[in-house]
Amino acid sequence: MGRLSLIFLVAVLWPTECAVISTETLGPESCRDFGQGFERAFSIPGEVAILECPLQVHYLFNPAETPYSVTWYDERTGSEITALEQSVMLKKTQVWFFNVTMQQQGKYTCVVRTQSECYKQATGLVVTEMTSEDCERPQRGLQRISAHVNDLLVCPLRKYLKSVDSPSIQWYKNCELLQEDKKFVPNEDMLNIRKVHLDDAGFYTCKMTFRVAGVVREMAETIECEVKDEFLMKPQMIEPVNEIIKVERGSSFRKDCVVVVRGKGIPMVDVIWKVLLGSEEEFISQNTSHRVHQKPMNESRTTDGFLMVRTLSLSAVWEEDFYLNFTCMASSSRGQPSAQISLVPAGASQQYLNQYYFNTNILYQPVHLINMCIFISSETCHS
Ligand SMILES: *[C@@H]1O[C@H](CO)[C@@H](O)[C@H](O)[C@H]1NC(C)=O
Ligand SMILES: *[C@@H]1O[C@H](CO)[C@@H](O)[C@H](O)[C@H]1NC(C)=O
Ligand SMILES: *[C@@H]1O[C@H](CO)[C@@H](O)[C@H](O)[C@H]1NC(C)=O
Ligand SMILES: *[C@@H]1O[C@H](CO)[C@@H](O)[C@H](O)[C@H]1NC(C)=O
C-alpha cells in the first residue's frame, strides 16, 4: 500500500515539477496507454448510466493474484473522479452516474495500477435528450430474429443485473408495456416472441428498475428489431439408417450419406464420415487416392431446402474393414444427427447378425430391422 501511495504521490507531483515538458495530468507517463475503447455508454438525462473500464485486466495480469486499484479521470478537466461528488459512485471497475446530466457527457479515462505497472484507456459517455414521441431512444442496438419460428430478444442491460439490487425488467414495444399473451412472453432479461411475423419488426425497449441506497432508479435500452425471412430446420439424416451391409471381400464399395435441411437461408452444415478404431474416432481421409476415402460434400438446392450428399468410398474392401462402424455425422448449430453402417462378409451367418442386432438395443429400431432384413437376406425374412 505504501508503494502504491508513493506512486500516486509521484503521479500528483509529476505534472507540477515537469510542467514545462509535460502536460500529462492523468498519472505517471509510464502508464501504458490503450487509447480509446470501442464501447460507449448511452444515456438520457435523469437516468442512471454506468461506465465500465474498457481495460481487459485479465489480459494484462492475473487479477486474482495481483492487487490493483482503479481510478477514473474526467478528460475535460483532468481531475480524478471521486465518490465525494454527488450522484457519482465508484464500484469495482465501474463508475455510476445516478442522475445523468447533459454536462456529464464526455470522455473518461480509466487507470489501472498494480504495484509495478500502470495502464489506461478512455471510454465515452453519450447523453442525448429523448426526442421521439414513440418512446424509442436516440441510440439503439440492432437484433435480428427469424420469421416463422419462435425467437427472442435479449435486453442489453442484462450485464448489469448482478451489480444492482432487486432489479426488475419490463419490456415495451414502442410505448406499450408488453404483458404475457399469445404473442409475447417477457421473461426477465429476455423477450420471447412466438411464431415471429414480419410485422414484429420495430423498436423494443427494456427498462430495468432497481434500488440504489433505498431509492428506485431506472435504466433503459432500445433494440431495433429486424425480422429476417429465413429459417432453417434441424438437419435430418435420410441415409444411412444404422445398416449392416454384406459385401464381398476385394470388391469396391460406396455409400452415400444423405442429409436434408429444410428452410431458407444459408445452411452451415458439414457432413463427414468417420470411423471408430478401437476407442479412437478417426475422420475418413479426404484424399481420393486413398483406398478408404470420402468424396467432397455435394450441396444442392431442393424445392423446400437443401440436400447434402457425401459419399464414402472403398476402392477394395479388406478384411480389416469388416465389423467396423463407419459413422456419418451432420454437424450444425442446431444439432448433430448421425447414423452408421457396418460391413460384414457376404458369407456371414445369420446367427452373427442376429446377435449383432439384439446387442445393440437402442440403436436399431424395429422399423429399421424390417428394412434391413429385406436388404440383407430375403429368405430368412420370408421363412
Ligand atoms: C436529477 O437532477 C435534476 C437536475 O439537478 C433534478 O431536477 C432531478 O430532480 C434529479 N432527478 C432525480 C431522480 O434525482
Ligand atoms: C494423397 O495421397 C497420395 C498417396 O498417399 C499422396 O501421394 C498425395 O500426396 C496425397 N495428396 C494430398 C493432397 O495429400
Ligand atoms: C451434386 O449433386 C447434384 C444433384 O444431385 C448432381 O447433379 C451433381 O452432379 C453432383 N455433383 C457432384 C460433383 O457429384
Ligand atoms: C459398432 O456399434 C455397435 C452399436 O453401437 C456396437 O455394439 C459395436 O460394438 C460397435 N463395434 C465396434 C467395432 O466398435
pLDDT value, residue 280: 87
Tell me how far the alpha carbon of residue 259 lies from the centroid of ligand 3, in angstroms. 14
pLDDT of residue 176: 92
- Determine whether the shortest distance from the Cβ of 359 to ligand 4 is under 6 A: yes
What DSSP letter does each residue of 34-87 carry, written as one string?
EEEEEEEEEE-TTS-EEEEP---HHHHS-TTTS--EEEEEETTT-PBP-TTSTT
Atom of ligand 4 nearest to the CA of 340: 2
Distance of CA 298 from the midpoint of ligand 3 (Å): 6
Give me the CATH topology for the region 232-375: Immunoglobulin-like (2.60.40)
Of ligand 4's atoms, which has the minimum distance to the CA of residue 342?
1
What is the reported pLDDT for 353?
60
Model pTM greater than 0.75? no
First to last CA, the chain: 90
Q: Domains of the chain: which residue ranges? A: 23-127, 140-229, 232-375
> Where does 23-127 sit in CATH, by number?
2.60.40.10
Mean per-residue pLDDT, 357-372: 38
- Atom 10 of ligand 4: nearest residue by CA position: 325
Distance, CA 100 to ligand 1 centroid (Å)?
A: 9
Among the bound ligands, the one closest to the CA of 288: 2
289 touches ligand 2 (CB under 6 Å): yes
Q: What is the mean pLDDT of residues 332-346?
A: 90
pLDDT score, position 151:
94
Q: State if residue 99 touches ligand 1 by the CB under 6 angstroms criterion.
A: yes
Task: Using the mean position of ligand 4's atoms as its centre, give its distance from the Cα of residue 325 in Å.
Answer: 6
The CB of 86 under 6 Å from ligand 2? The reply is no
Give residue-wise pLDDT tens across range 206-252. 999 998 777 888 899 999 999 988 778 889 999 999 999 999 999 99
The C-alpha cell at 280 is 479412437
Among 329, 358, 360, which is best to mutate for testing ligand 4, by the most ligand atoms less than 8 A from CB? Answer: 360
In this structure, the residue with its CA closest to atom 14 of ligand 2 is: 287
Quote the DSSP letter at residue 178.
Answer: P
- Closest residue by CA, ligand 4 atom 3: 360
Q: What is the mean pLDDT of residues 329-357?
A: 79
User: In this model, does residue 9 exceed pLDDT 80?
Assistant: no
pLDDT reported for residue 244: 92
Choosing from 242, 342, 358 the residue with most ligand 4 atoms within 8 A of its CB, the one to mutate for a pocket test is: 342
Average pLDDT over residues 80-108: 87
**Do residues 259 and 238 touch, judged by C-beta distance below 8 A?**
yes
Query: Same fold for the domain at 23-127 and the one at 232-375?
Result: yes
Asked whether residue 26 carries a pLDDT value surpassing 50, the answer given is no
Q: Which residue is it, cell 421363412? A: 383
Residue 83 near ligand 4, beta carbon < 6 Å? no
Coil, helix or strand at residue 287: coil
Burial class (CB in 10 A: 0-12, 13-18, 19+), 233: middle
> 244 CA distance to ligand 4 centroid (A)?
11
For atom 5 of ligand 4, which residue has the closest CA? 360
Tell me how far CA of residue 279 lies from CA of 219, 275, 282, in angstroms: 54, 10, 10
pLDDT given at position 186: 95
The alpha carbon of 227 and the centre of ligand 4 are apart by a number of angstroms equal to 45
Q: Is the pLDDT of residue 30 over 80?
A: no
Is the distance from the beta carbon of residue 383 to the nearest atom of ligand 4 less than 6 Å?
A: no
Q: What angle do CA 91, 96, 97 make, to 5 degrees?
A: 155
What is the CATH number that goes with domain 140-229? 2.60.40.10
Ligand 4: centre distance to CA 280 (Å): 13
Cα 142 to ligand 4 centroid, rounded to whole Å: 48
Model confidence at 339: pLDDT above 90: yes
* Distance in Å, CA 299 to ligand 3 centroid: 8
pLDDT digits (tens, 9 = 90+) for 156-178: 999 888 888 899 999 999 889 99
Q: Does residue 96 surpass a pLDDT of 50?
A: yes
Measured by CA distance, the residue closest to atom 14 of ligand 1 is 99
